Amino acid sequence: MRILMVGTYPVEPGVVNGGIESVTSTLVPALAARDDVESVTVLSLHNSTAPSAYRREGPKVEVHHMRGQRRLRRLTGSFLDVRRARQLAAAIRPDVVHGQEIGFNGDIATRCSDSAVVTVHGLVHREIRMGAGAGWRDRLRVWTTDRLVARVLQRAKIVISISDYDRSELAFMIHGRQVAIANPTAAEYFALAPSRATTQRLLFAGVLTPRKDVLGLVNAFAQAHRGRPAARLVIVGPQPDPQYARAVRDRVDALGLTGYVNIVGLVDNDRLRAEIAAARAVVLFSREETAPTIIAQAMAAGKPVIASRVGGVAGMVADGVTGFVVPAGDELELADRMGELLDDQPRCLDMGSAAHEVAVERFSPDAVAERTVTAYRSAAGLPSPDTAHTRRP
């Protein structure tokens, strides 16, 4: 089976920018390790500077980094990106094209192949509304995004839902077959378990945007920090919105948390794993989510998670068992839960152990790759393999 995957992919090996890159950089080698996969070609359209437009990652994997269309992308239907993708598809003749999200990448995939698979990484048509204003430009972006998502879900042969939340929210829009497959988590995160005892250290890892409500997280930590002078909060992740990142730093200073809150920025995989290993718990306070990658990574590493009850989060975190879920925007509740875990190391270890067990069943790369190949075969009309053992020893 030959696979063309359209989605963001690390520009530099080992430096992951966002949840989708984490997924693709984990799934691609897991797919390539299978005997029933001949090749995986990745097309990553980006707006940054890549060290190389092409690289090979092992005997089966090729990665093409191309500058994506920037002007009039929505209005022209990503005409230039689609043309590049079709040229690549004509050269490799894939059995299936897999678009990693239901926005532009999913649109490109469904316009390159009648056997397209798309993975829902977020409800982009809803997320764009959260930051939209009343001006005509914002209204146009909302309208074109609605049409884009509808087109992708109508054309895709298989739609992979990563949570019960997106599965139920999108079911009525999907014309093909809908399957449930969780996102994979790299084996390196599973290797961090079982967790050891830690200092009173909490970790946020994600993009610094209003949707993640990092300001609210800082406010809650300020309350949890009272009476716990040893408590620390580390904030890791890219900062695409300089104004919001500056507001977060200003809030840290205004609350007297300088030296207690460390804003790190974008880190490579090794640093992220080190931060997870050092944390007592991982915290996420988003206003909108589907199935956050950082939650699966933390669970794999044997760490409890505190997260807001939005989207598919409640389907990942069992409240009181593998962590806590709190109402979105409820800073007092978040502060209370932070305090509980900061004060109770044994409970953190118990919750983390339970979380790891769940992660092994749901998020291991081999299991996800096997389910994904089954979806590919269905999309391409290929017969099921005769043998159940398709992974190389």
Judgement on whether residues 194 and 341 belong to the same structural domain of the protein: yes
What CATH number is attached to the domain comprising 223? 3.40.50.2000
Do 194 and 353 touch, CB atoms closer than 8 A? yes
Judgement on whether residues 57 and 8 belong to the same structural domain of the protein: yes
Domain containing 92 equals: 2-184+364-380
Judgement on whether residues 265 and 345 belong to the same structural domain of the protein: yes
DSSP 86-142: HHHHHHH--SEEEEESSSHHHHHHHHH-SSEEEEE---HHHHHHHT--SSHHHHHHH
Evaluate whether residue 372 is within a structural domain: yes
Judgement on whether residues 157 and 257 belong to the same structural domain of the protein: no
Describe the strand order of the beta sheet including 281-284 as a list of residue ranges.
261-265, 232-236, 201-205, 281-284, 305-308, 323-326
Which residue's structure tokens are 């978040």?
Answer: 334
Judgement on whether residues 204 and 248 belong to the same structural domain of the protein: yes
Judgement on whether residues 197 and 215 belong to the same structural domain of the protein: yes
pLDDT tens track, the chain, 393 positions:
999 999 999 988 877 877 899 999 999 999 999 999 999 999 998 776 667 789 999 999 999 998 877 777 777 778 889 999 999 999 999 999 999 999 999 999 999 999 999 999 988 888 888 777 888 888 888 898 999 999 999 999 999 999 999 999 999 999 999 999 999 999 999 999 999 999 999 999 999 999 999 999 999 999 999 989 999 999 999 999 999 999 999 999 999 999 999 999 988 889 999 999 999 999 999 999 989 999 999 999 999 999 999 999 999 999 999 999 999 999 999 999 999 999 999 999 999 999 999 999 999 999 999 999 999 999 999 987 654 445 544
Judgement on whether residues 54 and 155 belong to the same structural domain of the protein: yes
The distance of Cα 212 from the centroid of its chain, to the nearest Å, equals: 13
Q: Which structure tokens are listed for 262?
A: 């460390």
Judgement on whether residues 251 and 339 belong to the same structural domain of the protein: yes
Evaluate whether residue 389 is within a structural domain: no
3-state SS class at 191:
coil
Judgement on whether residues 315 and 245 belong to the same structural domain of the protein: yes
Provide the domain count of the chain. Answer: 2
How far is the C-alpha of 60 from the C-alpha of 39, rounded, in Å?
5
**DSSP assignment, residue 391?**
B
Judgement on whether residues 14 and 85 belong to the same structural domain of the protein: yes
Judgement on whether residues 262 and 292 belong to the same structural domain of the protein: yes
Q: What is the pTM of this model?
A: 0.82
Judgement on whether residues 178 and 304 belong to the same structural domain of the protein: no
